[in-house]
Amino acid sequence: MTLCSPTVMLLAIDVGNTNIVVGVYSGETLLHHWRMKTDRERTTDEIGMTCLQFFQSAGLEPRQVCRAIACSVVPPLSFSVERAVQRYFGVDLAMVGPGMRTGMPILYDSPREVGADRIVNAVAAYERVRGGVVVVDFGTATTFDCVSTAGEYLGGVIVPGLQVSLDALIQRTAKLPRVEIAWPPRVVGRNTVQSIQSGVLHGYVALVDGLLERIREELEFETDVIATGGLARTIASRSKHIREIDPLLTLEGLRILDDRTGSGKS
């Protein structure tokens, strides 16, 4: 049994295709969060030692962690993360997946197909608005996840992420240069770099807003829209429909599920 310090903390880990996001909660307060690049070859010890370095930089001790929860969309890393938490923090890791009591009905043809991060985001968003909501997660893929006014996960939309789209364009064209993801001074570019930036960024905002309009028409009930993910601020700032941005929504969803499943009460 782990001997916890008086400051009982929750370790929350979001294993994504691009980054692994690590957060530490005391109660409902997110004390610190960090990111490490996702590497499918990363070992248990590499993950554990990196997390210990994060803790050291924040003046925290591993023994302060009494609970841990994670979601992962990278199966090869899930076992390594679980072992790292057990070995370096001395607690068992609750992994979000089939069989976990999320409190949210999944109205998908095959509920097991829904990524764990999408369910976690949906739980966090509904808890916040207590009504119909769409979560737009700007990650390696951009996902739109819809929740009913009754708190049911209805389904969603998956499109290639902004960076993935840009990378594909550059890789498949011989003469187009690699460009920074940055807003150009105008829609009509005056050079190749500006033209690519305009197409990728203005085009992506149009894609997001267009899909949100069609989603809202189909749902036939009022919805809030919350954006999350690494590129949320870049795109959402120009969107006509996104009103709230929370890059750490997934960590908050993990905290809520930790409390909801009972592990937070032990």
Output the six-digit token pair for 150. 């009754």
**How many CB atoms lie under 10 A from the CB of residue 32?**
16
Dist. CA 198–CA 203, nearest whole Å: 7
Which residue carries 């980054």 as its tokens?
19
CB 31, CB 45: distance < 8 Å = no
Where in the sequence numbering do the catalytic residues fall?
Answer: 117
Which of 231, 260, 266 has its CA nearest to residue 96? 260
SS3 234: helix
- Spatial distance between the Cα atoms of 16 and 18, rounded to a whole number of angstroms: 6
**Minimal CA–CA distance to 224: which of 118, 148, 111, 164?**
148
